[in-house]
Amino acid sequence: MSLLTLYQLEREDIKNIINDALYFKKNRKKNKYNNLLENKNIALIFESPSTRTRVSFDIAINELGGHSLMLNTGETHLGKKESIKDTANVMSKYVDCIVARVKNHSTLEELVKYGSVPVINALSDLSHPCQILADLLTIYQYKNKFKGLKLSYLGDGNNVCNSLIIGGALLGMDIYVATPKGYEPNELFINKGLEIINKYGEGTLILTNDPLEAAEDADILYTDVWVSMSDKDKNIDEINKVFPPYQINKKLLEYAKDDVIVMHCLPANRGMEITDEVIDGDHSVVYEEAENRLHAQKALFKYIFYE
Ligand code: CP
Ligand code: NVA
């Protein structure tokens, strides 16, 4: 199977992935899955820059006994000199899995449609499921539960926010998303989130324009950049005008619970969506969160190939 968005998963699936990720984290070098990807060749295609995703996938594959091929924009014909259809067909003859970071989510859908190997979304303009798997692992590590936690995202309703809604909903969390007007998350993801909450009868999803409503008594404060890689036409003057109230700073932190954890997928635009003081402060778990990409992606490979 492929993983393009988290709403493909059931609650049990995501819980299993998190449990496996915990195992991989506890047993980093020597574990019963050292040969999980033996004889598997996995292509890593990056249309946009990446530090965490490319390095953590590369290392995860190597530590599980597989072979990775790093393909950056300009190194393949994908979407330029050759159709995505032909690329998908040809790549499927060589590799066992494609991990792809793409500008347009539809590229991933085409890779799935025309290829015959699993495709993993390593970030698109619409979603970032691998990031959120690592985030859920991080939340579990610090809070030891999901249900009953207030998970608050402040800032731009972007790809990370879309996926966070689904991840939080799958685990029955109380999700608050505070964005300026006009920067709300994608409607499909809002609806899918509400569907999941309805299905399991647990959790809530509140969308607001009030940053303090989200910050109040939050167990988790999460933010991401105000301008994403895929944002070509955002008006920077308007961003600078409407986003500052959503910044995670010391003052906003005072509204949250005393043991709040502060998360950011990174890279951060320090001084914009989050201050140095907070990202470097006691509540911040951002580096642990980044480390967890490695463990969560190992667990994801186990799920993709063997479950
Ligand atoms: N969080 C994340 O995906 O980081 P990179 O862009 O560095 O991969
Ligand atoms: N929303 C950000 C996430 C980076 C990991 C972007 O798409 O640029």
- Judge whether residue 261 has pLDDT over 90: yes
- Judge whether residue 224 has pLDDT over 90: yes
In a domain, 207, yes or no: yes
In a domain, 1, yes or no: no
From the list 224, 264, 295, 297, the catalytic residue is 224
Of 265, 273, 286, 291, best ligand 1 pocket probe by most atoms within 8 Å of the beta carbon? 265
Same domain, 62 and 143: no
Mean pLDDT of 288-305: 98
Same domain, 116 and 140: no
Q: If you measure from the C-alpha of residue 270 to the centroid of ligand 2, how many angstroms do you get, rounded to a whole number? A: 14
Same domain, 147 and 239: yes
Same domain, 103 and 197: no
Pairs from 180-185 (Cβ < 8 Å, separation ≥ 24): 180/209, 180/242, 180/243, 180/245, 180/246, 181/209, 181/242, 183/156, 183/157, 183/242, 184/157, 185/157, 185/158, 185/161
CB 222 within 8 A of CB 135: yes
- Judge whether residue 307 has pLDDT over 90: no
In a domain, 15, yes or no: yes
Mean pLDDT of 266-292: 98
In a domain, 26, yes or no: yes
Q: If you measure from the C-alpha of residue 290 to the centroid of ligand 1, how many angstroms do you get, rounded to a whole number? A: 8
Same domain, 135 and 63: no
Same domain, 167 and 191: yes
Same domain, 139 and 245: yes
Same domain, 139 and 247: yes
Mean pLDDT of 150-172: 98
CB 235 within 8 A of CB 257: no
Same domain, 220 and 237: yes
Same domain, 221 and 245: yes
pLDDT in tens, 1-59: 999 999 999 999 999 999 999 999 999 988 899 999 999 999 999 999 999 999 999 99
For residue 160 and ligand 2, the question of a CB distance below 6 A is answered with yes
In a domain, 12, yes or no: yes
For residue 290 and ligand 2, the question of a CB distance below 6 A is answered with no
For residue 92 and ligand 1, the question of a CB distance below 6 A is answered with no
Name the percent of the chain lying above pLDDT 70. 100
Q: Is the pTM of this model over 0.85?
A: yes
pLDDT in tens, 128-141: 999 999 999 999 99
130 is catalytic: no
Nearest CA to ligand 2 atom 2: 228
Give the ligand at the shortest distance from the Cα of 54.
1
- Judge whether residue 79 has pLDDT over 80: no
Under the banding of pLDDT at 50, 70 and 90, the label for residue 78 is confident
131 is catalytic: yes
Q: If you measure from the C-alpha of residue 306 to the centroid of ligand 2, how many angstroms do you get, rounded to a whole number? A: 29
In a domain, 33, yes or no: yes
Name the percent of the chain lying above pLDDT 90. 94
Orientation angle between helical segments 286-306 and 129-143, nearest 10 degrees: 120
For residue 285 and ligand 2, the question of a CB distance below 6 A is answered with no
In a domain, 158, yes or no: yes
Same domain, 113 and 135: no
- Judge whether residue 85 has pLDDT over 80: yes
Q: What CATH number corresponds to the domain at position 100?
A: 3.40.50.1370
In a domain, 216, yes or no: yes
Which candidate, 11, 291, 9, 22, places its Cα nearest to that of 173? Answer: 11
What pLDDT was estimated at residue 231?
94
Same domain, 124 and 18: yes
Task: Tally the domains of the chain.
Answer: 2
- Judge whether residue 77 has pLDDT over 90: no
For residue 124 and ligand 1, the question of a CB distance below 6 A is answered with no
For residue 124, the enclosing domain spans: 6-128+293-306
- Judge whether residue 178 has pLDDT over 90: yes
